[in-house]
Copies of this chain bind each other. A is one copy, B any other.
Amino acid sequence: MTAEIITIGDEILIGQIVDTNSAWIAEQLNLNGIEIYQITSVHDSREHITEALKNAESRVDFVIITGGLGPTRDDITKAALCDFFNTKLVFHEPTFQHIKQMFTLRNFDFNKLNQGQAMLPEICEVLPNKMGTAPGMWFAKNGTVFISVPGVPSEMKYLVETEIMHRLRLYAKKEAIFHKTVLTQGLPESTLALKIEDWENMLPKNIKLAYLPDIMSVKLRLSAYGTDEAILRKNVDDEIGKLIQLIPDNIYGFDNDTLAKVIGRLLNDKCKTLSIAESCTGGYVSHQITSVQGCSGYFKGSVIAYSNSIKQSVLGVNTELLEKYGAVSEQAAKEMATGARNVFNTDFALATTGIAGPGGGSEEKPVGMVWIAVADESNVFTAKFQFGNGSREKNIIRSGQTAMQLLRRVILKELQ
């Protein structure tokens, strides 16, 4: 089975936004055994869209169309779809009610433009979009399926995950495929590759390995192809068992886990609580931890201590220590963690202090240097890292991810 992706919107063609939707859709389809033949980005132009639809129709089984479904006049995907399928827009009552309800909930005025979003091509099957006002649309023509979804990533993902993928799988499913992703942190891609080289070379022929690197985290996706999913699952789990022995300190989870989710599960299971004192990470770690639903069960709070006076007055960091060793030091990190643990009265406390840059570095303490501390009931674990002189954003993310990895390992008593 093959597919094409057509993304619609001038903002892509003038380079104002990077098309991340296509990569995400391509990955999802690929994981489900559907090969992407081509990705085409076209203008908000009726003629251009229909031309692209016509070309794709002759080549593939599925065409996924994103974008151009907003309420304003530059959004003309529906008009182009009507041209292409020789149909017209008709009023769709359930969509109308849904949009009206969304607006009522948010106390926004419901106007004629929103009402226009309930006008949909007569021949399409409507895919309800709980996350927004523009529904997805499903069309079939001459043996090719066309699916139109909004360009807003969260809405596109919602529709693909809940309304589209299980139906595409029905078409595509002839062979069994099983994927599992191993999440690692703390090793650059090339170092990781060398560490697991022999394992990789010994993988069975029907298991493929993909490296998916990211800032300070590398995901390893194993894809097994065969005829029986249960057997594939066992094969993959066996190989992952061997992998864990090679890099035990670096694997923090699987598939859709995040470090924050894993930490949340551990704290929940152990009925333990957490607080955080952030300096250089400036709220990034707290934001990650509180992005997990139900975090109020174990997370009590944080102090973002950007100025030294706050480190002293709120966290009770020893003034003399700060003066002697500076705010970016093992002593300061340790005091911040202990201080947070006391102030918030928690079982664990995490602290970060470092130089995110681009300014503020020195020869002794260069940009990218960070101290991390984790306090538990008996001890404070500390470690120093040097994240190079990349961007401020990268230094914040790397420091934060590393801090969460250390916290996870202290909770597991792997570090102390």
Contacts and interface: CB of A to CB of B under 8 A. Distances in A.
A154 interface: yes
Nearest to A300: B307
Contact of A38 (B40, B179, B287): B40
Contact of A215 (B133, B154, B368): B154
Given A39-B41, A294-B359, 14 more contacts: A11-B210, A18-B18, A37-B43, A75-B211, A106-B368, A106-B388, A154-B391, A283-B285, A286-B286, A301-B305, A301-B314, A303-B304, A309-B345, A314-B314
A257 interface: no
Contacts of A305: 301
Interface in A377-406: 386-394, 396
A301 to B, nearest CB: 4
A140 interface: no
A189 B392 contact: no
Residues of A in contact with B, size category? 35 or more
Interface in A294-345: 294-296, 299-307, 309-310, 313-314, 343-345
Interface stretch (A23-31, A86-94, A241-249): A23-31
A295 B306 contact: yes
A393 B153 CA distance: 13
Question: Secondary structure at chain A's binding surface: helix, strand, loop or mixed?
Answer: mixed
Interface in A188-214: 188-191, 193-194, 209-214
Count the copies. Answer: 2
Interface string A272-296: 0000101000111111111101111
Given A13-B39, A386-B106, A393 B70 contact: no
Interface of A: 10-20, 22-30, 35-43, 48, 52, 55, 70-75, 102, 105-109, 111-114, 117, 131, 133, 152, 154, 179, 181, 188-191, 193-194, 209-215, 221, 223, 276, 278, 282-291, 293-296, 299-307, 309-310, 313-314, 343-345, 356-360, 366, 368, 386-394, 396
Contacts of A39: 12-13, 19, 39-41
B283 A304 contact: yes
